[in-house]
Amino acid sequence: MTTVTRRAPHQGVAPAPPGPPKLTFRQRLSVADVKWSPYLYIAPFFVVFGVVGLFPLLYTSYLSLFDRDLLDLEGTFIGLGNYTELLRDSQFWTALTNTLSIFVLSTGPQIVVAVGLAALLNTRLRAPTGWRVGILLPYVVSLVAVGIIFANLFGPNYGLVNSVLEIFGIDRIDWQGNRFFSHLAIATMVNWRWTGYNALIVLAAMKAIPKEIHEAALIDGASAARRFFSVTLPLLRPTLIFVVVTSTIGGLQIFTEPKLFDAMPGSNNGGSSNQFQTITLYMYQTAFETQHLGYASAIAWVLFLVIIVIAIVNFLLTRRLASTGAEDDR
């Protein structure tokens, strides 16, 4: 294209700097696309969450400021009264201790075993799909069945576990009555259900590690153990963070397993003296059994805060433990 050149009309006056080129419509569309499409893509989640998560959350926080029973038309405003009462509530502290105890007993071993399992599965196996189906099976079995099965296995009088213990000369254990052993039993239920699931997640990440990296480490003369800790583990970091954070959040919220474990069917008590009542179960009991809705809302909010704190702690911990130093994490 020929351009027409013009002589500057006035000598001595600097020509105005050329402004930005005028964009065509298509180019403007493209700019808008880059600018706004991210918001569009994340929108579905926030819309759904707005209705399904945010609204109940706000409503619950509103409720927690009232003394209101489930079936009342309205409650009396008591400000932070529910929260102060919660701090003095021994059952709440029992539930909190139970929750943390079960959490430690389940999440810790679970993740270690899951990573180990994934490493085992990462070898060349015959019928790999079969193994993966196998370890995922617990996750797939319905909760109804899980409750029946474990209640039977851990029954103090006629349960299989106690019978096996007797064969080895160990005393029978009252799995529902003893506080520590009830936590152990429930942690077993949780571990049984979730370890395979987490192992497959870690396996997927392991498979995504390019072979060249392993080869490079091999050339550098790294032993298998060293390779695992210095190469594999750090590269698994995003996945491990995912597994740890979700296990933390899930683990602190467990509800179904302790509810199903009680000898009294349908009970929300978590044991005759709340030996294994978790916070979520306590909240559920308060809302739907004793029907103190305002108080239950306060429990829910405190749990929410506890989860956030512990999840952040775990997130930072995992990041540190599985780090190589500099990491490209843009």
User: Site residues for other proteins, window 130-169 (CB under 8 A)?
Assistant: 131-146, 148-153, 155-160, 163
Name residues contacting other proteins, limited to 248-277 (CB under 8 A): 249, 253, 255-256, 263-269, 271-273
Angle between helix 128-140 and helix 90-121 axes, rounded to 10 deg: 170
Question: Which stretch, 3-11, 14-22, 97-105, 307-315, contacts other proteins (CB under 8 A)?
Answer: 307-315
Sequence-distant (6+) residues with CB within 8 A of 99 are 252, 254, 278, 279, 280
Dist CA 33 CA 107 (whole Å): 43
Dist CA 275 CA 324 (whole Å): 42
Smallest separation (angstroms) from other proteins to the CB of 19: 25
User: 88: left (phi > 0), else alpha (psi -120 to 50), else beta?
Assistant: alpha
Smallest separation (angstroms) from other proteins to the CB of 6: 34
Smallest separation (angstroms) from other proteins to the CB of 272: 4
- Decide if residue 71 touches other proteins (CB under 8 A): yes
Q: Which is nearer to other proteins, 8 or 58 (CB)?
A: 58
Dist CA 118 CA 199 (whole Å): 5
Instruction: Please identify which residue in 31, 48, 313, 317 interacts with other proteins, judged by CB under 8 A.
Output: 48
Q: Which is nearer to other proteins, 3 or 49 (CB)?
A: 49
Instruction: Please identify which residue in 23, 28, 31, 59 interacts with other proteins, judged by CB under 8 A.
Output: 59
- Check if the beta carbon of residue 260 is closer than 8 Å to that of residue 146: yes
Dist CA 149 CA 143 (whole Å): 10
- Decide if residue 123 touches other proteins (CB under 8 A): yes
Amino acid at the residue 77: F
Name residues contacting other proteins, limited to 160-219 (CB under 8 A): 160, 163, 174, 176-177, 192, 196-197, 200-201, 203-212, 214-215, 217-219
Helix (H) or strand (E) holding 194: helix 179-207
- Check if the beta carbon of residue 241 is closer than 8 Å to that of residue 111: no
Q: Which is nearer to other proteins, 165 or 256 (CB)?
A: 256
Question: Which stretch, 6-14, 17-25, 53-61, 100-108, contacts other proteins (CB under 8 A)?
Answer: 53-61
